[in-house]
Chain A
């Protein structure tokens, strides 16, 4: 494979596209697929054939269109005018009228307004190809400029140049910690060792998060390309993607993508006729949240029990089978091709001073537009919840937004104007985390929410260290007591004491951050806790209180 051949593929593909005036893009990511988008796609194909219009109109499957709550979603693109109509909640009965409407006015009843803030106020880098290319066809990825950054890197840049670009871009890890990516790459590059590895962390275990899954399902080549660029930069020739077995569609698409990339020679030996080799293999996780922690993940790939180990030494120095290992999140890798293509200055111009670029969030809970969004770092929570997210359903009132999943905290309406960036969220006692955002209204009891997350951590704790293993069980016991109306004020003090203990003495990030949901709800909603223990009532009416409790 050389540059001309890559261009040839892009050219052929673009010509193929140009033949068709219209393209009906049906979302075939997991959300829409589960409400029947595959049947819909078949039905569109049949309808096109029946009408004999296949020479100017085609139907194809594409990645996630974002507004998952209103699936199945269908986007009708008109090439010459570069216009697009997005239809929501499409059923088999609508196929006729949508095809009818191709040349006329859109079906107003089903169409989402392009002016809708959900679409208008986003900025897409990681999700740029979503809803546009078929994730199962490498040619379509190449047609939109895919694998060109890899070519540029291999033929025109030295590893040091590449790392310099990543450092300058200001990119930080999207897996939760926000560690500067360029710095991590530099450390791995400088680490001594003949064998080095790249690992892509696609374990995504936080309840309510589905950003990484969508990226793998909708644009898998982007991640492969990011990993290959990383491999070249740090001097690794082998990569692993650790993906949870609960993501069968993502796994299938990744396998297909790897095979296609190997066949075309953009992965494998002598990529683009250079001496650079890079192989990627999949490793499936068995759905343990703790296996997202980097040292546990490495242990799991090695075939051992997925237990974390103390750091240092960090994986950058002592990782997979003792070799220097670069481990980054899916979204982190997905940013790399765009940074190489558009330059680090472009990337650094987006976002805030310390948090560059964009962030993908999974909006869930009591919010009108649940789904996947991508916004510049520093967008306020108000903008995300009330504008892009469309606010809270009629008749209920916003109470809090939970970010960072089991390691994060709640943010109340007083703080909605906080910019969503790493530092600001941490200051409020929450964290950016991987991008899960759960919106709650006044039907949620905050003690119950805290209990939910503590229970999650209790059952997901690996059990290796005492404070997390036993402390989580004791905390869960106390919260159960409080939510059943049998708690007293001492239980609240005990919760505070345990939170401090677990946070300060646990071995890994799971334990250290586990108290966050409790500390944060106790800080912002102390009165709710007190109502549970003093008055034996649950203000939100969620907890099943044994009135008066047992004395």
Chain B
């Protein structure tokens, strides 16, 4: 028996909406112009559930759930932005800003950064935790790209794009906890990688100034992601 997705109705922030049973809360919210902040999510890549920005309340569920990986159900009642959730999101953002160096004024992605945009949108005015700021390396060995680990938020988008879309699996994450880090191959320099096809997908999916193109000055690095939904659509049609 082939599984057929059914149409289900639910309530998001008091608004009655409908979606298919294999869609997530986030997808349905997007279709209905309801904003849920995200960082590790990117349409066209597999869902990760790591950044915890998209947590929402579902009536009857004991815990907050990530909207990106929770499928809709008939009759579900979702609240995307209570005061409690908003404060949690602010704290999570603050934790990210204190984790590594995110001084925007000196960043090539200034003005085009998803972390920065989220902070502005959610109204993060200050951080309450001390800055950790570990000294992280910058890898500029590749001909065209730079990896600046000081700006990385470990969202794993580059890893997923490289593995799932390009099929190269050059990027991965090593280490644990606060010391984890994105690596090229088995922790080699990007320039000497034999698996990297230099397609630049990782650079363009990266939400911050961690992966950028060479030759860009402050605030010049704009990312182009249009290729992703397009590729996904073409592959689904095959």
Chain A residues with CB under 8 Å of chain B are 288, 290, 305, 309-310, 312, 458-474, 477, 494, 497-498, 501, 504-507
B91–A497 touching, CB < 8 Å: yes
Q: Is residue B98 within 8 Å, beta carbon to beta carbon, of the partner chain? A: yes
A505–B96 touching, CB < 8 Å: no
Summarize A's interface: helix, strand, loop or mixed: helix
Chain A residues contacting B96 (CB-CB under 8 Å) are 466, 470
Chain A residues contacting B71 (CB-CB under 8 Å) are 312
CA distance A468 to B69 in the complex (A): 18
CA distance A76 to B88 in the complex (A): 61
**Nearest B residue to A458 by beta-carbon distance?**
B177
Known: A465-B51, A470-B96. A458 touches B178 (CB 8 A): yes
B102 to A: closest C-beta gap in Å: 13
A506–B52 touching, CB < 8 Å: yes
CA distance A465 to B68 in the complex (A): 14
A462–B92 touching, CB < 8 Å: no
A463–B130 touching, CB < 8 Å: no
Task: State how many residues of chain B have any CB contact under 8 Å with chain A.
Answer: 35
Chain B residues contacting A477 (CB-CB under 8 Å) are 130, 132
Chain A residues contacting B55 (CB-CB under 8 Å) are 505
A469–B180 touching, CB < 8 Å: yes
Q: Is residue B104 within 8 Å, beta carbon to beta carbon, of the partner chain? A: no
Which residues from 58 to 93 on chain B have a C-beta closer than 8 Å to any C-beta of chain A?
63-64, 66, 69-71, 88, 91-92
Chain B residues contacting A458 (CB-CB under 8 Å) are 177-178
B176–A459 touching, CB < 8 Å: yes
**Nearest B residue to A289 by beta-carbon distance?**
B176
A467–B95 touching, CB < 8 Å: yes
B107 to A: closest C-beta gap in Å: 20
Chain B residues with CB under 8 Å of chain A are 47-52, 55, 63-64, 66, 69-71, 88, 91-92, 95-96, 98-99, 128-130, 132, 153-154, 156, 172-173, 175-180
A466–B176 touching, CB < 8 Å: no
5 contacts between A and B (CB under 8 A): A310-B49, A459-B176, A463-B177, A467-B52, A472-B178
A473–B177 touching, CB < 8 Å: yes
CA distance A504 to B91 in the complex (A): 12
**Nearest A residue to B128 by beta-carbon distance?**
A494
B176–A463 touching, CB < 8 Å: yes
CA distance A450 to B64 in the complex (A): 26
CA distance A466 to B95 in the complex (A): 7
Considering residues B47, B48, B178, B180, which has the most beta carbons from chain A within 10 angstroms of its beta carbon?
A: B178
B64–A463 touching, CB < 8 Å: no
Contact of B173 among A290, A305, A312, A497 (CB under 8 A): A305
Chain B residues contacting A494 (CB-CB under 8 Å) are 128-129
B40 to A: closest C-beta gap in Å: 9
The number of A-B residue pairs with CB atoms under 8 Å apart is 97
Chain A residues contacting B99 (CB-CB under 8 Å) are 469-470, 473
A385 to B: closest C-beta gap in Å: 32
B51–A310 touching, CB < 8 Å: no
Chain A residues contacting B48 (CB-CB under 8 Å) are 464
CA distance A505 to B129 in the complex (A): 18
CA distance A461 to B128 in the complex (A): 22
CA distance A473 to B52 in the complex (A): 17
CA distance A472 to B128 in the complex (A): 15
A501–B91 touching, CB < 8 Å: yes
A493 to B: closest C-beta gap in Å: 10
**Nearest B residue to A500 by beta-carbon distance?**
B88
Contact of B129 among A290, A459, A474, A504 (CB under 8 A): A474
Known: A466-B95, A469-B178. A305 touches B51 (CB 8 A): no
CA distance A507 to B53 in the complex (A): 11
B73 to A: closest C-beta gap in Å: 11
A313 to B: closest C-beta gap in Å: 9
Contact of A474 among B47, B69, B88, B95 (CB under 8 A): B95
Given known contacts A290-B176, A463-B176, A469-B178, what 8 new A-B pairs fall within 8 Å (CB)?
A: A312-B70, A463-B175, A463-B177, A463-B178, A467-B91, A467-B95, A470-B99, A504-B63
A459–B52 touching, CB < 8 Å: no
Chain A residues contacting B66 (CB-CB under 8 Å) are 310, 507
B177–A462 touching, CB < 8 Å: yes
CA distance A463 to B154 in the complex (A): 8
Known: A288-B176, A471-B95. A466 touches B52 (CB 8 A): yes
Known: A477-B130, A507-B50. A461 touches B176 (CB 8 A): yes
Chain B residues contacting A312 (CB-CB under 8 Å) are 70-71
**Nearest B residue to A290 by beta-carbon distance?**
B176
A26 to B: closest C-beta gap in Å: 40
Q: Which 7 A-B pairs have the closest CB atoms?
A: A463-B180, A461-B177, A470-B95, A310-B49, A310-B69, A473-B178, A464-B50
CA distance A463 to B51 in the complex (A): 10
**Nearest B residue to A471 by beta-carbon distance?**
B95
Chain B residues contacting A468 (CB-CB under 8 Å) are 177
CA distance A473 to B49 in the complex (A): 20
CA distance A467 to B53 in the complex (A): 10
Chain B residues contacting A288 (CB-CB under 8 Å) are 176
**Nearest B residue to A309 by beta-carbon distance?**
B49
Chain B residues contacting A498 (CB-CB under 8 Å) are 91
